[in-house]
Structure 1
Amino acid sequence: DPLQLDRVILKRVELLPHASFTLVEEHVGLKGEKLMAFALEVAKRIGEIGESDYRPRIHLDVYGTLGELFEMKLEPLADYLGRLREAAAPYELLVESPIIAGTQEQQIESFREVRALLKSKGISLGLVADEWCNTLSDIKLFAEEKASDYVQIKTPDLGGINNTIEAVLYCKAHGMGAGLGGTANETDQSARISTHIGLACGPDFQLSKPGLGADEAIMIQTNEMARTLAVLKSRTPAAA
């Protein structure tokens, strides 16, 4: 939605737009040209209407379509990610789930290989794990295996919020980035609770929720953060 993109740029959202690409031919293109054009357009639009000091990160969730496009051949996949990174320049790029393997073990091995290829080619890009990384034990395993740059911590999958908190802290302790996410199909109450976890634990980024409209979720979460910080400030004794 071009208008939605404009709104989040004007609101200076720090991570955008979490666009979803689920079908190779329809969304990515048989040569990857549609995804490439989208990254170019997002970067161009940020430069056109964003303030000069606005430097958001661009987040693209590709749901394993790149693995499908390149038939799980990781070398050409890594080369494509390099071109995608250039298309998104000068903004930092995060790519979620470039591949979805048949097993968790294969997923971890593939992610590690892609990370190594990107490093050897000098491509600065953040990989985000999602599939095969759902529960607290999954997240700990990915962190211990250094399988990804970031993991999306999906609060409904974790069960109790104690597990979400532990997951964020575990990632931070083991050098893996944490994205506090979930699902669009949540309530305003769960979004506010997640916001408090984010303020307390400090993940690398937090996805907007509930809904897919961006505006409502940003309003709910930003207002909750502002209220909480104002209350904390009011309780802090003034310096003598």
Structure 2
Amino acid sequence: MKWVASRVRDIGHPDYHQTLHFDVYRSIGLEFGLDPLKVFDFITEVSDAVPEFILNIESPADFGSTQAQFDNYAQIVSTLDARSSHARIVVDARVIKLSGPKLTLLAITTSWCGGRVPTLSG
């Protein structure tokens, strides 16, 4: 993370404000025993190491079921928001297999929901 941030600083224009996006493939949850507060603590520690960047963390954990995914991600995101963190949680909708209103609600409670991009044609 620090290396990527350093490279962006080194080669980017001073007015260029990059968002760093890392898909961690559920590895944070595996490392911390699926404890949402430990996942939050780690994400916060990482984001604090690169405070000038918005940090997107995609798929930090797989909590086993759709309901557990929803509940735990909502807890992590609300804690990040309460702390005014510049870290964001990104959810891959293909993993959690939601659609319709539930997907919309998850997208609102998390920072961004990837994997289902509408195709627009004219």
Q: TM-score, normalised by structure 1?
A: 0.45
| Structure 1 segments unaligned to the other structure (5+ residues) | 1-38, 156-163, 166-196, 201-240
1:126 equivalent in structure 2: 88
Residues 142 and 148, structure 1, Cα contact 8 Å, conserved in 2: no
| Structure 2 segments unaligned to the other structure (5+ residues) | none
2:101, 2:58 → 1: CA distance? 18
1:49, 1:121 → 2: CA distance? 31
1:141 paired to 2:102: yes
Amino acid at match of 1:132: I
Amino acid at match of 1:111: Y
Residues 115 and 148, structure 1, Cα contact 8 Å, conserved in 2: yes
Larger Rg: 1
Number of equivalent positions: 118
1:114 paired to 2:76: yes
Higher relative contact order (CA 8 A, sep 6+): 2
Percent identity reads 21
Structure in which a larger fraction of residues adopt helix:
1
Q: Which ranges of 4 or more aligned residues in structure 1 deviate by more than 3 Å?
A: none
Q: CA RMSD in A?
A: 1.9
Stretch deviating more after TM superposition (66-75 or 121-130): 121-130
Alignment of structure 1 residues 122-201 onto 2, 5 Å? 122-130=84-92, 131-133=95-97, 137=99, 140-145=101-106, 146-154=108-116, 164-165=118-119, 197=120
Q: TM-score, normalised by structure 2?
A: 0.84
